Amino acid sequence: MSAQPAGTLRGELRHDEPMARHGGWRVGGPARRFYRPADSADLVAFLATVEPGEELHWVGLGSNLLVRDGGIDGTVICLQGALDRIETLADGRVRAEAGATDAAVARHCARAGLLGVEFLAGIPGTLGGALAMNAGAHGDEIWQRVVTVETAGRDGRLRERIPSDYRIAYRSVTGPQDEWFLAATLQLDAGDPDEGQARIRALLERRGATQPTRQPSCGSVFKNPPGDFAGRLVEASGLKGFAIGGASVSTKHANFIVTEGGATAGDVEALIAHVQETVERLHGVRLGTEVRIVGKPGQGAMS
């Protein structure tokens, strides 16, 4: 890996950056180019350097992403620690940039006495990732609160869009191609700051008691099928604790896969496939994944 200034750009450009450093599972091969922009203007300038056909991926905490062991033969743009401002506006609205962590957004809103996104505190990612997948918990979803979003296109243009520009469903958001979220303005409910912060504390306590928060994971792996829970189906299939290589189904919550030292992305992907096949064979349900899988398989891996 090498780091170097990017000419007139103000962000940080790295080559052959190990993506294991940027994902919850701590596995994955390198990205050919990895850029962390200084701000949105710098990001637009960087996009002008990306070849039209180049593979381009946007990453926050990497908590909903599996990069295969062969890595990414393209460019990764990382917003974590870059575009992470959160500000309270008038009339119960908050503007947050895509690199802000979900937990930071939840805490900021609660402290301001603005309620409705406390559930974000338990989602291990950034706001950009939450917008991209319509993240939610306990019956709430982020797009229920979105007024506008700001995006950047591969063409370098900045745009403001409204929810009706997108097809929004359970853990799915479809919109204009080659555009990525930079920020969102959220509409919240006025309330008691103490109440909001108490909700967050209770949620985090429940999360710590029921999820493997002290082990490398990427949160929930599978989407809940209609009328059921993915974790229930995985557990009912006898798969808690089942392992392939350094990846295993959590014994604490069956919709989590955890890794240990020596794990590979290939182990995780093979375990995901095994869980899907087993649940389908035993219960007739094909579990879809919340996790995105990108990149090239490692040497010797099956594609």
pLDDT for 300: 55
73 and 110, same domain (yes or no): no
Buried b (16+ CB within 10 A) or exposed e, 101-115: bbbbbbbbbbebbbb
Buried b (16+ CB within 10 A) or exposed e, 143-158: bebbebbbbbeeeeee
141 and 243, same domain (yes or no): no
Mean predicted confidence (pLDDT) in 122-135: 94
196 and 94, same domain (yes or no): yes
Residue 17 has pLDDT above 90, yes or no: yes
175 and 237, same domain (yes or no): no
CATH code (residue 259):
3.90.78.10
CATH code (residue 22):
3.30.43.10
198 and 92, same domain (yes or no): yes
Instruction: List the end-to-end C-alpha distance of the chain, in Å, as a whole number.
Output: 26
Rounded to an integer, what distance in angstroms lies between the CA atom of residue 19 and that of residue 16? Answer: 9
176 and 290, same domain (yes or no): no
pLDDT for 299: 72
In this structure, what DSSP letter does residue 123 have? S
Question: Is the CA virtual torsion 288, 106, 232, 266 positive or negative?
Answer: positive
pLDDT for 4: 42
Name residues whose C-beta falls within 8 Å of residue 145's C-beta, 6 or more positions apart in sequence.
116, 117, 186, 187, 188
- Exposed, middle or buried: residue 138 (CB in 10 Å: 0-12, 13-18, 19+)? exposed
Provide the domain count of the chain.
Answer: 3
Mean predicted confidence (pLDDT) in 9-26: 95
| Final residue in a domain of this structure, among 44, 78, 112 | 78
Q: Which of the four pLDDT bands, split at 50, 70 and 90, describes residue 232?
A: very high
Helix axes 193-210, 102-111, angle to 10 degrees: 150
Return the structure tokens found at 94: 């908050």
Return the structure tokens found at 214: 């002290």
Mean predicted confidence (pLDDT) in 153-162: 92
* Contact assessment for residue 95 and residue 89, using Cβ atoms and an 8 Å cutoff: yes
The one-letter amino acid code at 293 reads: I
The one-letter amino acid code at 236 reads: A
Q: Which of the four pLDDT bands, split at 50, 70 and 90, describes residue 2?
A: very low
Phi, psi of 193 (to 5 degrees): -55, -40
CATH code (residue 98):
3.30.465.10
189 and 242, same domain (yes or no): no
The one-letter amino acid code at 16 reads: D
Phi, psi of 100 (to 5 degrees): -70, 140
Mean predicted confidence (pLDDT) in 254-269: 96
Query: Is residue 301 in some structural domain?
Result: no
- Exposed, middle or buried: residue 7 (CB in 10 Å: 0-12, 13-18, 19+)? exposed
pLDDT for 52: 86
240 and 155, same domain (yes or no): no
Q: Which of the four pLDDT bands, split at 50, 70 and 90, describes residue 303?
A: very low
Catalytic residues: 171, 220, 290
| Final residue in a domain of this structure, among 175, 210, 245 | 210
pLDDT digits (tens, 9 = 90+) for 49-107: 898 889 999 999 998 899 999 999 999 999 988 899 999 999 999 999 999 999 999 99
Buried b (16+ CB within 10 A) or exposed e, 241-261: ebbbebbbbbebbbbbbbbee
Query: Is residue 286 in some structural domain?
Result: yes
Residue 287 has pLDDT above 90, yes or no: yes
pLDDT for 112: 96
Which of 41-50, 91-100, 259-268 shows the lowest per-residue confidence on average (mean pLDDT)?
Answer: 41-50
141 and 91, same domain (yes or no): yes
pLDDT digits (tens, 9 = 90+) for 185-225: 999 999 999 999 999 999 999 999 999 999 999 999 999 99
- From the centroid of its chain, how far is CA 173? 13
| Final residue in a domain of this structure, among 162, 182, 210 | 210
91 and 74, same domain (yes or no): no
Q: Which of the four pLDDT bands, split at 50, 70 and 90, describes residue 121?
A: very high
- From the centroid of its chain, how far is CA 202? 23
165 and 99, same domain (yes or no): yes
pLDDT for 3: 43
Range of the domain at 271: 230-294
164 and 253, same domain (yes or no): no
Return the structure tokens found at 238: 């006898």
Query: Is residue 215 in some structural domain?
Result: no
Most confident of 133-142, 149-158, 180-189: 180-189
